[in-house]
Amino acid sequence: MPEKLKANYVDHICIAVNDVKKAEKDYVDAFGWEVAYRYVDEPEKIRVTGFMVGETAIELMEDFDGTGEVAKFIKHSGEGVMLISYNVDNCEESLELLKRNKVKMIDQKPRLFAEYKRNYAFIHPLATHGILTEIIDGKY
């Protein structure tokens, strides 16, 4: 029997978009939400706008040069949900549990999201029926 991964809540859901400024306006106009944060992740080649819905962030992600993973996702699948992230107490321990459960992983060691001092790791979409899945510790 596989070990149970303790997830605290859905940390964030990433939506791949062609134009983050337009998508941000659409979300503000539709829901009246205030933007919680914006950032640019140079290594991932993305611009991000985040909205907080309770403890869960809804992130709109735009590829800024057409060569990153978001651009590849949109080319293959169109705009839409690209990633679901689960908050865990300890990313490294959760990653080891997933490996013991023989889950196909992208990452074998946690990565560091330095700006927020959070560790994260990706589960391969083949293991989760086509959705890129992430485990992440810490808080925004």
Neighbour-count burial of 100, counting CB atoms closer than 10 A to its CB (0-12 exposed, 13-18 middle, 19+ buried): exposed
Q: How high is the pLDDT of residue 44? A: 87
Q: What is the pLDDT of residue 102?
A: 97
What pTM does this model have?
0.92
Domain assignments of the chain as residue spans, ordered by start: 9-136
Per-residue tens of pLDDT for the chain, all 140 residues: 899 999 999 999 999 999 999 999 999 999 999 999 999 998 889 999 999 999 999 999 999 999 999 999 999 999 999 999 999 999 999 999 999 999 999 999 999 988 779 999 999 999 999 999 999 999 87
pLDDT, residue 56, reads 97
For residue 13, how far is the Cα from the chain centroid? Answer: 6
Which CATH number, 3.50.50.60, 3.40.50.10490, 3.10.180.10, 1.10.287.3510, labels domain 9-136? 3.10.180.10
Task: List pLDDT tens digits, range 26-56.
Answer: 999 999 999 999 999 988 899 999 999 999 9
Please give the span between the terminal C-alpha atoms of the chain, in angstroms, as a whole number. 34
State the pLDDT at residue 113. Answer: 85
pLDDT value of position 115: 77
Alpha-carbon gap, residue 5 to 95, rounded angstroms = 9
Q: Calculate the alpha carbon distances from 81 to 31, 56, 78, 101, 127 in Å.
A: 18, 14, 9, 26, 17
Nearest to 83 by CA among 111, 112, 125, 51: 125
Measured torsion, CA atoms of residues 13, 70, 117, 5, in degrees rounded to the nearest 10: 50
